[in-house]
Amino acid sequence: MNKTVLITGATSGFGKAMAAKFAAAKFNCIITGRREARLLEVAEELKQQFDIDVLPLVFDVQDKTAVFNTLENLPSEWKSIDVLINNAGLALGKDSFENANLDDWETMIDTNVKGLLYVSKAIIPLMIANNGGHIINLGSIAAKEVYQGGNVYCATKQAVDAISQSMRIDLVQHAIKVTAIHPGAADTEFSIVRFKGDNQKASSVYEGYTALHANDIADIAFYCASLPPHVCINDLVVTCTAQASATTFFKS
């Protein structure tokens, strides 16, 4: 029987690449996001290309009611979830603490922290009923090091790091693996979102070096999920070769 993966934020970047990677290995995929047209397009591509079942679910992870209404009412054939990838997330702005926008801070906290908690809380009972599972949380190098202007984004990712550690401790009794993947700079839509559509500012983040690609993180997530039942990668920091810390890059 095919396994099932649920990936939040699969309309672009890591989530979209991870969906393709798992689908290529014949996982059936539950994919989520807010942009319905894009999500349905990704679902159709996965079905056509990989001949698997796909369940696209449109909701905002910040919306507690929508998260629980949707995930607590999954069709019965979708209730057996082997891997949950908490990937949906964003940065908004990179302003100094005193200039940063309060609404941006709240959106990051509501998405990166509370959204991850809501989705996990809805799915963990299904994993417990199945006697096991694997949760993969997308942290960031910002979970390990703060940087100028990173303030609340870094704080949300440090929360993801702490939540991952505490999930691992609390869920070990249920044979649920918990892996946190902490990427450095990766060329996705992340910076376009962070800089609110300023494409020039966004692309300048990746100039002069080869940043991580979404497929690199998809390969790593799939590797973590492919290990034998007795093996769990707990915590993984991954950067491109040209990045040595949150702020140290070798640029040509």
Identified catalytic residue from 153, 206, 209, 223: 153
**Does position 185 bind ligand 8X3 by CB under 6 A?**
yes
Angle 139-137-16 (CA atoms, 0-180°, nearest 5)? 95
Residue 214: other Cβ atoms inside 10 A:
22
- Judged by CB under 6 A, the chain residues 102 through 141 that form the site for ligand NDP are 111, 115, 138, 140
CA angle 167–84–229, rounded 5-degree value: 75
DSSP letters for 186-248: B-SSHHHHHTTT-HHHHHHTTTTS--B-HHHHHHHHHHHHHS-TT----EEEE--TTBSSSS-
**Site for ligand 8X3 contains 214 (CB under 6 A):** no
Work out how close the CB of 92 gets to ligand NDP at its nearest, in angstroms, rounded to a whole number: 10
Block residue for tokens 């990712």? 157
Contact status: 211 vs ligand 8X3 (CB under 6 A)? no
Residue 246 touches which of ligand 8X3, ligand NDP, none (Cβ within 5-8 Å per kind): ligand 8X3
Near ligand 8X3 in 115-154, by CB under 6 A: 140-142, 150
Active site residue 153: yes
Q: Of 9, 56, 133, 150, which one interacts with ligand NDP (CB under 6 A)?
A: 9
Residue 13 engages ligand NDP in binding (rule: CB under 6 A): yes
Active site residues: 153
